[in-house]
Amino acid sequence: MPFANSDGRQIHYQVEGEGPPLLLHHGFTSSLEAWRFFGFTAALRERYRVIMFDALGHGQSDKPHDSAAYSQQQRCRDALAVLDALDVERAHFFGYSLGGWVGYGLVRHAPQRLASLVLGAAHPYEDRSWDGFAGIDGRDPERFIATFETLLDERIPPQVQMQIRANDLAALAAAAQQPRPSQEDLLARMDDLPCLLFCGDADARHDAVRRTAALLPRGEFVSLPGVTHFGGLMQSALVLPPVMDFLARRR
Protein backbone atom coordinates (compact mmCIF):
# COMPACT_ATOMS: atom_id res chain seq x y z
CA MET A 1 0.00 0.00 0.00
CA PRO A 2 1.82 3.17 -1.16
CA PHE A 3 2.11 6.23 1.06
CA ALA A 4 3.59 9.68 0.54
CA ASN A 5 5.22 11.45 3.46
CA SER A 6 3.80 14.94 3.99
CA ASP A 7 5.51 16.80 6.83
CA GLY A 8 5.77 13.59 8.83
CA ARG A 9 2.25 12.33 8.12
CA GLN A 10 1.35 9.45 5.84
CA ILE A 11 -0.92 10.08 2.85
CA HIS A 12 -2.25 6.96 1.17
CA TYR A 13 -2.51 7.01 -2.63
CA GLN A 14 -3.23 4.70 -5.55
CA VAL A 15 -2.49 4.99 -9.27
CA GLU A 16 -4.26 3.46 -12.27
CA GLY A 17 -3.92 3.92 -16.02
CA GLU A 18 -1.45 5.56 -18.38
CA GLY A 19 -1.31 9.00 -19.96
CA PRO A 20 -1.22 12.59 -18.75
CA PRO A 21 -1.34 12.70 -14.93
CA LEU A 22 -4.72 13.50 -13.37
CA LEU A 23 -4.88 14.03 -9.60
CA LEU A 24 -8.25 13.32 -7.95
CA HIS A 25 -9.26 14.77 -4.56
CA HIS A 26 -12.48 13.48 -2.96
CA GLY A 27 -14.92 15.33 -0.72
CA PHE A 28 -15.28 15.62 3.05
CA THR A 29 -16.07 12.29 4.84
CA SER A 30 -15.26 10.32 1.65
CA SER A 31 -12.13 8.51 0.43
CA LEU A 32 -10.31 7.65 -2.77
CA GLU A 33 -12.52 4.57 -3.07
CA ALA A 34 -15.44 6.82 -4.02
CA TRP A 35 -13.82 7.52 -7.41
CA ARG A 36 -13.66 3.81 -8.10
CA PHE A 37 -17.08 2.96 -6.64
CA PHE A 38 -18.97 5.57 -8.67
CA GLY A 39 -17.27 4.70 -11.96
CA PHE A 40 -14.83 7.57 -12.44
CA THR A 41 -11.63 5.56 -12.24
CA ALA A 42 -12.65 2.96 -14.82
CA ALA A 43 -13.44 5.67 -17.39
CA LEU A 44 -10.57 8.05 -16.68
CA ARG A 45 -7.81 5.43 -16.54
CA GLU A 46 -8.38 4.65 -20.21
CA ARG A 47 -6.83 7.99 -21.14
CA TYR A 48 -5.03 9.28 -18.05
CA ARG A 49 -2.66 8.28 -15.32
CA VAL A 50 -5.23 8.55 -12.55
CA ILE A 51 -3.73 9.46 -9.17
CA MET A 52 -6.13 9.11 -6.24
CA PHE A 53 -5.37 9.74 -2.59
CA ASP A 54 -7.06 9.72 0.79
CA ALA A 55 -7.10 13.24 2.16
CA LEU A 56 -5.63 13.65 5.64
CA GLY A 57 -8.22 12.47 8.19
CA HIS A 58 -9.82 10.11 5.67
CA GLY A 59 -9.45 6.56 4.41
CA GLN A 60 -6.03 5.02 5.02
CA SER A 61 -4.21 8.32 5.56
CA ASP A 62 -3.17 9.57 8.99
CA LYS A 63 -5.91 11.07 11.16
CA PRO A 64 -4.65 13.75 13.55
CA HIS A 65 -7.20 15.22 15.97
CA ASP A 66 -5.69 18.72 15.85
CA SER A 67 -7.61 21.20 13.71
CA ALA A 68 -4.39 23.04 12.81
CA ALA A 69 -3.29 19.97 10.83
CA TYR A 70 -6.07 20.55 8.30
CA SER A 71 -5.33 24.02 7.00
CA GLN A 72 -5.80 24.64 3.30
CA GLN A 73 -2.08 25.16 2.86
CA GLN A 74 -1.32 21.85 4.55
CA ARG A 75 -3.88 20.04 2.40
CA CYS A 76 -2.14 21.48 -0.64
CA ARG A 77 1.19 20.24 0.70
CA ASP A 78 -0.38 16.79 1.09
CA ALA A 79 -1.51 16.80 -2.55
CA LEU A 80 1.91 17.94 -3.72
CA ALA A 81 3.60 15.26 -1.60
CA VAL A 82 1.71 12.65 -3.59
CA LEU A 83 2.78 14.21 -6.90
CA ASP A 84 6.37 14.44 -5.65
CA ALA A 85 6.36 10.78 -4.59
CA LEU A 86 5.47 9.91 -8.18
CA ASP A 87 7.88 12.43 -9.75
CA VAL A 88 4.98 14.28 -11.37
CA GLU A 89 5.83 17.91 -12.01
CA ARG A 90 2.48 19.07 -13.41
CA ALA A 91 -0.97 17.50 -13.44
CA HIS A 92 -4.61 18.07 -14.20
CA PHE A 93 -6.54 18.41 -10.94
CA PHE A 94 -10.09 17.17 -10.33
CA GLY A 95 -11.50 17.99 -6.91
CA TYR A 96 -15.00 17.66 -5.52
CA SER A 97 -16.33 19.78 -2.62
CA LEU A 98 -13.43 19.63 -0.12
CA GLY A 99 -11.29 18.70 -3.09
CA GLY A 100 -12.45 21.83 -4.88
CA TRP A 101 -11.44 23.93 -1.87
CA VAL A 102 -7.98 22.37 -2.11
CA GLY A 103 -7.95 23.13 -5.83
CA TYR A 104 -8.38 26.82 -5.12
CA GLY A 105 -5.60 26.51 -2.57
CA LEU A 106 -3.28 25.10 -5.21
CA VAL A 107 -3.94 28.16 -7.35
CA ARG A 108 -2.54 30.22 -4.48
CA HIS A 109 0.29 27.98 -3.30
CA ALA A 110 1.45 26.00 -6.35
CA PRO A 111 -0.09 27.25 -9.64
CA GLN A 112 2.92 25.99 -11.59
CA ARG A 113 1.88 22.42 -10.75
CA LEU A 114 -1.55 22.75 -12.40
CA ALA A 115 -2.27 21.92 -16.04
CA SER A 116 -6.02 22.52 -15.58
CA LEU A 117 -8.70 22.53 -12.89
CA VAL A 118 -11.96 20.57 -12.68
CA LEU A 119 -13.86 21.71 -9.59
CA GLY A 120 -17.16 20.25 -8.46
CA ALA A 121 -19.52 22.01 -6.03
CA ALA A 122 -16.85 24.42 -4.81
CA HIS A 123 -16.59 28.22 -4.97
CA PRO A 124 -14.07 30.79 -3.68
CA TYR A 125 -16.47 32.87 -1.60
CA GLU A 126 -16.63 33.02 2.18
CA ASP A 127 -18.48 30.05 3.63
CA ARG A 128 -19.58 30.54 7.24
CA SER A 129 -21.70 27.37 7.25
CA TRP A 130 -18.68 25.45 8.53
CA ASP A 131 -18.86 27.51 11.72
CA GLY A 132 -21.60 25.10 12.79
CA PHE A 133 -18.93 22.54 13.61
CA ALA A 134 -17.59 24.72 16.44
CA GLY A 135 -17.83 22.63 19.59
CA ILE A 136 -18.40 19.37 17.69
CA ASP A 137 -15.81 16.80 18.81
CA GLY A 138 -17.08 13.74 16.93
CA ARG A 139 -18.10 11.74 19.99
CA ASP A 140 -21.78 12.00 19.06
CA PRO A 141 -22.27 10.63 15.52
CA GLU A 142 -25.89 11.84 15.35
CA ARG A 143 -24.91 15.38 16.20
CA PHE A 144 -22.07 15.25 13.70
CA ILE A 145 -24.40 14.11 10.91
CA ALA A 146 -27.11 16.63 11.84
CA THR A 147 -24.53 19.43 11.75
CA PHE A 148 -23.28 18.26 8.36
CA GLU A 149 -26.85 18.15 7.01
CA THR A 150 -27.43 21.73 8.18
CA LEU A 151 -24.21 22.82 6.49
CA LEU A 152 -25.21 21.18 3.21
CA ASP A 153 -28.89 22.17 3.48
CA GLU A 154 -29.90 18.65 2.49
CA ARG A 155 -30.55 15.23 3.96
CA ILE A 156 -27.69 12.74 3.88
CA PRO A 157 -28.76 9.39 2.35
CA PRO A 158 -28.81 6.47 4.83
CA GLN A 159 -26.07 4.56 3.01
CA VAL A 160 -23.81 7.63 3.17
CA GLN A 161 -24.59 8.05 6.87
CA MET A 162 -23.31 4.52 7.44
CA GLN A 163 -20.05 5.39 5.70
CA ILE A 164 -19.67 8.57 7.73
CA ARG A 165 -20.15 6.70 11.02
CA ALA A 166 -17.35 4.31 10.03
CA ASN A 167 -14.85 7.19 9.95
CA ASP A 168 -12.69 8.62 12.73
CA LEU A 169 -15.20 11.34 13.57
CA ALA A 170 -12.84 13.10 15.97
CA ALA A 171 -10.43 13.65 13.08
CA LEU A 172 -13.21 14.77 10.74
CA ALA A 173 -14.63 17.15 13.36
CA ALA A 174 -11.19 18.69 13.77
CA ALA A 175 -10.88 19.07 10.00
CA ALA A 176 -14.34 20.65 9.72
CA GLN A 177 -13.35 23.43 12.10
CA GLN A 178 -10.97 24.98 9.60
CA PRO A 179 -12.41 28.37 8.52
CA ARG A 180 -13.41 29.01 4.92
CA PRO A 181 -12.71 32.72 4.32
CA SER A 182 -13.18 34.43 0.97
CA GLN A 183 -10.65 33.56 -1.73
CA GLU A 184 -12.07 35.87 -4.37
CA ASP A 185 -8.62 37.37 -4.90
CA LEU A 186 -7.64 34.11 -6.61
CA LEU A 187 -9.93 34.79 -9.56
CA ALA A 188 -7.47 37.35 -10.90
CA ARG A 189 -4.77 34.66 -10.91
CA MET A 190 -6.82 32.21 -12.96
CA ASP A 191 -7.03 34.16 -16.24
CA ASP A 192 -4.83 31.68 -18.13
CA LEU A 193 -5.86 28.51 -16.32
CA PRO A 194 -8.39 26.24 -18.07
CA CYS A 195 -11.16 25.57 -15.54
CA LEU A 196 -14.30 23.43 -15.62
CA LEU A 197 -16.74 24.05 -12.78
CA PHE A 198 -19.84 21.94 -12.23
CA CYS A 199 -22.60 21.71 -9.64
CA GLY A 200 -26.00 20.16 -9.18
CA ASP A 201 -28.89 22.60 -9.44
CA ALA A 202 -30.34 21.10 -6.22
CA ASP A 203 -27.11 21.99 -4.39
CA ALA A 204 -27.22 25.20 -2.33
CA ARG A 205 -23.81 26.13 -3.82
CA HIS A 206 -25.05 26.07 -7.42
CA ASP A 207 -25.44 29.82 -8.03
CA ALA A 208 -22.10 30.67 -6.42
CA VAL A 209 -20.29 28.08 -8.55
CA ARG A 210 -22.01 29.32 -11.72
CA ARG A 211 -21.13 32.93 -10.87
CA THR A 212 -17.49 31.95 -10.36
CA ALA A 213 -17.22 30.27 -13.75
CA ALA A 214 -18.69 33.34 -15.46
CA LEU A 215 -15.86 35.45 -14.03
CA LEU A 216 -13.09 33.24 -15.39
CA PRO A 217 -11.86 33.98 -18.95
CA ARG A 218 -11.12 30.29 -19.48
CA GLY A 219 -13.88 29.02 -17.24
CA GLU A 220 -16.68 26.66 -18.25
CA PHE A 221 -19.74 25.68 -16.21
CA VAL A 222 -21.95 22.61 -16.25
CA SER A 223 -25.22 22.48 -14.32
CA LEU A 224 -26.43 19.02 -13.30
CA PRO A 225 -30.25 18.89 -13.29
CA GLY A 226 -31.85 17.60 -10.11
CA VAL A 227 -28.52 16.71 -8.51
CA THR A 228 -27.80 17.43 -4.82
CA HIS A 229 -24.41 18.05 -3.23
CA PHE A 230 -23.87 14.39 -2.37
CA GLY A 231 -25.31 13.38 -5.72
CA GLY A 232 -22.68 15.34 -7.59
CA LEU A 233 -20.06 12.66 -7.11
CA MET A 234 -22.51 9.78 -7.36
CA GLN A 235 -23.80 10.78 -10.80
CA SER A 236 -20.77 9.86 -12.88
CA ALA A 237 -22.99 9.32 -15.94
CA LEU A 238 -23.76 13.05 -15.86
CA VAL A 239 -20.36 14.31 -14.74
CA LEU A 240 -17.98 12.24 -16.85
CA PRO A 241 -19.01 13.37 -20.37
CA PRO A 242 -18.25 17.10 -19.82
CA VAL A 243 -15.15 16.27 -17.78
CA MET A 244 -13.79 13.94 -20.46
CA ASP A 245 -14.52 16.50 -23.15
CA PHE A 246 -12.84 19.27 -21.18
CA LEU A 247 -9.73 17.22 -20.45
CA ALA A 248 -9.50 15.98 -24.05
CA ARG A 249 -9.18 19.60 -25.17
CA ARG A 250 -6.24 20.06 -22.78
CA ARG A 251 -4.15 17.13 -24.08
Q: pLDDT class for 163, splitting at 50, 70, 90? A: confident
Range from 97-111, 160-174, 222-236 that averages highest in pLDDT:
97-111
pLDDT tens for 32-87 read 999 999 999 999 999 999 999 999 999 999 999 999 999 999 999 999 999 999 99
Quick check: helix, strand or coil at residue 117? strand
CATH among 3.40.50.10490, 3.40.50.1820, 3.30.365.10, 2.40.33.10 for 3-129+180-248 = 3.40.50.1820
pLDDT tens for 213-229 read 999 999 999 999 999 99
For 15, phi and psi rounded to 5 degrees?
-130, 135
Give the pLDDT score at 159.
Answer: 82
Nearest of 141, 186, 148 to residue 166 by alpha carbon: 141
Nearest of 165, 168, 170, 145 to residue 156 by alpha carbon: 145
pLDDT tens for 181-210 read 999 999 999 999 999 999 999 999 999 999
- C-alpha 48: how far from chain center: 18
Give the pLDDT score at 122.
Answer: 98
Give the pLDDT score at 53.
Answer: 98
Handedness of CA 229, 237, 195, 36 (dihedral sign): positive
DSSP string, 150-174: HHHTSPPPHHHHHHHHTS-HHHHHH
The CA distance from 38 to 40, in Å, is 6
- Taking the whole predicted model, whether its pTM rises above 0.95 is answered as yes
Q: Where are the domains of the chain?
A: 3-129+180-248
